[in-house]
Amino acid sequence: MAISATPTVTSAPPELIAASSAILPGLRLIDPKRLDPRSDGEIAAWLRQPHPITSDKNVWAFWHSGFINLPPWVQRNIIGWVRRLGPEWTVHVVDHVQGSDTNVTHYVESSYFPDCFNNHTMDGPTVGAHSGDLVRLPLVWKYGGVWLDVGTFLFRSIDDICWKQIEDPATPYEIAGFVIEMRPGVDCMLNGFVAAKRHNPFIKRWHDIYLALWEEVSNAHGFHKHPLLRHLPLLNPPVQKLNCPDLNVMMESFSDYLAAFMCFERLRKLIDPADGFNGPEYYSNHMLLFPALQETYYFQQQTNWSGTRQFELLTARRTGEGVVKDEKWQAAEKFVTDALANTATMKLSHGPPDALNSFLADLWDSKEHQDKDNIDGTFAAYLRYGSVHFEQTREMVPVKMDWPSEEILTCGVLEPKHID
């Protein structure tokens, strides 16, 4: 059922505007002249229309059933991006709705997608997630910009996170993103934030590998056994190091769900003798990568990856009559102020399905709680306001990416490794 396309974003309490710098060390208010001045409803209506692509400064997002069918909290996320980033960036929300003016097929040719996507025959419980995996890299490759998963809160400008360095000819950086350990000692780039200028050689090859997995199939089951990936061990995150409970999924299913990450791993360790592409060299020298545990999953670590705990903290009242600054209030205050000041983004997701006992995204999706991210006086509303109106003063510190110590493949990008 369609939902309102005009969700409300909390306005700033006067006392917050007057004293925000004192309340939040490490932050300052953004000059209002830099923000998009349109109303939430005007931005929401604008997001449902196609926009001209005039530069590489694009933000790409996708929801298979269209912006109007996004949960309200996710609509508010994207409206917040538009308001925060201002006129220098164009936010595009594409979909896969037949007849839609913002259907991704208006931007990317069908040859970039498998038959099951083009024919709407993809099946299984993760159609939306894997459709997003298929569209993100072609959009960035063709037009440039940044892919953002729709469940992302943005706490820094994209220019400040990475784009100034990508555009600067004095730096070697051509791709930016976040990395996390997907096996002990093995980092992998997440694909919820992918930044690059158009026609990037790594982005195109990464998509080519992922697309090959989808040939003559309708879901991701068994991707870890595909000839292009079977030489890689299963993903197996070191949960204790990540301050995460044991995952309630088999690693085979986990690896299938995140097969796009394994495609990245294959490519970063591959040298193609046919055209000289050198994945290890590119990974070591041309990627601006930041630690995901600091820059996108900081809030998860602080709560043992519990969506229920995150919901409790954010639902607590921060201001208003009768508020007592007790231990619970202090915990919520620290949780929110640390997120606003010390992490670039906050990524909420729904999966892998059943991997964790609770997901904040699932709670906010529910009809019962669909406005709980934005109730005046709560820590959630404070977090949302800060995500639009505050900027951080800290310096982000990238991870030094060394030449991979694992085995290097010398073969074509789409050539399976020979296994005796």
pLDDT tens digit sequence for 125-143: 889 899 999 999 999 999 9
- Answer whether residue 4 shows pLDDT above 90: no
Residue spans of the domains in the chain: they are 33-302
pLDDT at 322: 86
pLDDT in tens, 155-211: 999 999 999 999 999 999 999 999 999 888 888 899 999 999 999 999 999 999 999
pLDDT band at 354 (very low <50, low <70, confident <90, very high): low
pLDDT band at 239 (very low <50, low <70, confident <90, very high): confident
pLDDT at 401: 72
Tokens of 94: 């594409």
- Answer whether residue 15 shows pLDDT above 70: no
Residue from 374, 379, 385, 384 nearest 7 by CA: 374
Average pLDDT over residues 392-399: 94
pLDDT in tens, 242-298: 777 676 678 899 899 999 999 999 999 999 999 999 999 999 999 999 999 999 999
Residue scoring higher pLDDT (14 or 227): 227
Mean pLDDT, the chain, whole residue set: 90
